Amino acid sequence: MPLLVSRGRIIRRSMTCLCLTHSLTQTHNPFPSSLHNNRNSLFQFFSAILRPSIRPFSAKFKGSSSALMANFNADSVTYLTQREAAEIDETLMGPLGFSVDQLMELAGLSVAASISEVYKPTEHGRILTICGPGNNGGDGLVAARHLHHFGYKPFVCYPKRTPKPLYSGLVTQLEALSIPFLSVEELPSDLSNDFDILVDAMFGFSFHGSPRPPFDYLIQRLVSLHDNDQIDKKRPFIVSVDIPSGWHVEEGDVDGTGIKPDMLVSLTAPKLGAKKFGGPHHFLGGRFVPPAIAEKYKLVLPPYPGTSMCVRIGKPPQIDISALRENYISPEFLEEQVEADPINQFRKWFDDAMAAGLKEPNAMALSTVGKDGKPSSRMVLLKGLDKDGFVWYTNYESRKARELSENPRASLLFYWDGLNRSVRVEGPVQKVSDEESEEYFHSRPRGSQIGAIVSKQSTVVPGRHVLYQEYKELEQKYADGSMIPRPNWGGYRLTPQLFEFWQGQKSRLHDRLQYTPHEINGQRLWKIERLAP
């Protein structure tokens, strides 16, 4: 086991989870022997360490979290040496009273929170966490538990289990959640087919030397994912905990042949090697740095927004828009599988969007054209669907209402990103009956009814305060529960004359099935045709 000299003392190190959970499983005595014999000296020592007059590292930032981040200079972030990281851990678990399991819990939660900030469980739900034998691996075990509760489907590869009670307890917690453990031999030959995210929690900041089996093999598996990139194949994203396994803590990926993570979650403060990180997402986790440590190490770290356990370090990378590309992986959408009636097919897809938990699956882009020939689009919400068409509601004096009075035709576009699907509908539009509009208006929450009166949609407003003031006045006027009169506001119904169902596919060979009406023996039927992608 490698040794570390810290504050004139020799401390045995293990593979750790980084600054948050250094491998000090026993608390070392950080005090000079004289302090043990002098209560006044001991009191003075603690007073110096924990003095409340020391300003927290983020004390100079005032205002909202977004304002804090806007005012923060990302280039000023402090990066720690290996020795500084070890010293901070020793202090945290010495005079500052943290335990290793407490820090590990905070670290794992920070990793899980960082992942959820970028990769949503509906799109990237299958996660393999590869855990090493030290505290870095412990962070990975904790993260897997939190990811399960966040709605992901985690798997764990933990080939060299640590027999200490802390780690055994973490394993028991995961087993109680029925989270699968996979041996190295059970891992699929192609990780891309079975996982969306790979969490690298093998080695922390105090690991030295070359990785030994099976971790050398596992690291190479992660490295090879970049070597084997294919245009028509999605690879899993790699998330490294504090330091990509195999990197030099201070010099980074020295020879350029190491893991190239898409996300790095630094803990407590980033290590010097993290300066070589070139991926798109660098987060900081471990929201607990006390003023004494911030002052001693002159830490400059970004303020955490709100109640979040993580914060992005620096700005998101500049993206070449022309290079943005998604290779859709979807089931085939075939003519012989679809409903003969497009309304029924729409309902099936809409039910799928609901079951997938997509946000506002009834959101649709409504496009209209006025007499000037200029098209305009806006997002509205579908509020009714029957054999006669699609219904939405709006102010009858809005721009879309004016354009529909001049040209009573429109198109609707639904897009369900999580399913790689969209539906386009075109046809004539007419107002629904006053009775239908009245019934729907009074079914809405009273606040929404008052809001419809306040909003003279599409007109110029001097400021938000004007809307707020009128809203408060009307709220008081109808505080007795009396009926709120419907303003010049109501519904429209689009009667479909064309449907197009789009399903994203690999290599841009998308499925597009178009429905158009035609009559056979006086009966209105729908003709289904495949369009080129």
Is 207 known as a binding-site position?
A: yes
Q: CB under 8 Å to 182, separation ≥6 — which residues?
A: 128, 155, 156, 157
Q: For 186-201, what is the HEC assignment?
A: CCCCCHHHHCCEEEEE
- Tell me if 232 sits within 8 A of 270, measured CB to CB: no
- Of 508, 512, 524, 530, the active-site residue reads 508
Task: Name 364's bridge partners.
Answer: 380
H/E segment holding residue 176: helix 165-176
- Do the Cβ atoms of 349 and 421 come closer than 8 Å? yes
Token duo for residue 336: 């012989």
What is the tally of helices (H) and strands (E) in the chain? 15, 19
Residue among 114, 86, 119 nearest 6 (CA):
86
Report the SS3 class of residue 175.
helix
Element (H, E) at 25: none
CA distance 100 to 107: 10
Taking the C-alpha atoms of residue 177 and residue 217, their distance in angstroms, rounded to an integer, is 28
210 labeled part of a ligand binding site: yes
* Residue among 494, 514, 418, 423 nearest 121 (CA): 418
- Token pair listed for 60: 């100079």
Residue 219, burial from CB neighbour count under 10 angstroms (0-12, 13-18, 19+): buried
Q: What angle do CA 430, 432, 433 make, to 5 degrees?
A: 130
For 82-133, the DSSP string reads HHHHHHHHHHHTTTT---HHHHHHHHHHHHHHHHHHHS-TTTS-EEEEEE-S
Buried b (16+ CB within 10 A) or exposed e, 234-265: bbbbbbbbbbbbbbbbbebbeeeebbbbbbbb
Strand partners, 233: 230
The whole-angstrom separation of Cα 136 and Cα 133 is 8
508 flagged as catalytic: yes
How far apart are alpha carbons 15 and 22 in whole angstroms? Answer: 8
209 among annotated binding-site residues:
yes
State which amino acid sits at residue 333. Answer: F
Question: Encoding tokens for residue 367?
Answer: 């496009």
Q: For residue 206, say whether it is annotated as part of any ligand binding site.
A: yes
Tell me whether residue 208 is annotated as binding.
Answer: yes
Query: Does 499 carry a binding-site annotation?
Result: no
Instruction: Answer yes or no: is 245 a known binding residue.
Output: yes
DSSP 208-267: -SPPPTTHHHHHHHHHHHHHT-BTTB---EEEEESS-TTSBTTTBSTTS-S---SEEEEE
Rounded CA gap, 95 and 28, in Å? Answer: 10
Classified as helix, coil or strand, 362 is: coil
205 appears as a binding residue in the annotation? yes
Annotated binding site, which residues? 135-139, 200, 204-210, 242, 245
Annotated binding site for K(+), which residues? 136, 200, 245
**What residues are labeled active site?**
508
Annotated binding site for (6S)-NADPHX, which residues? 135-139, 204-210, 242
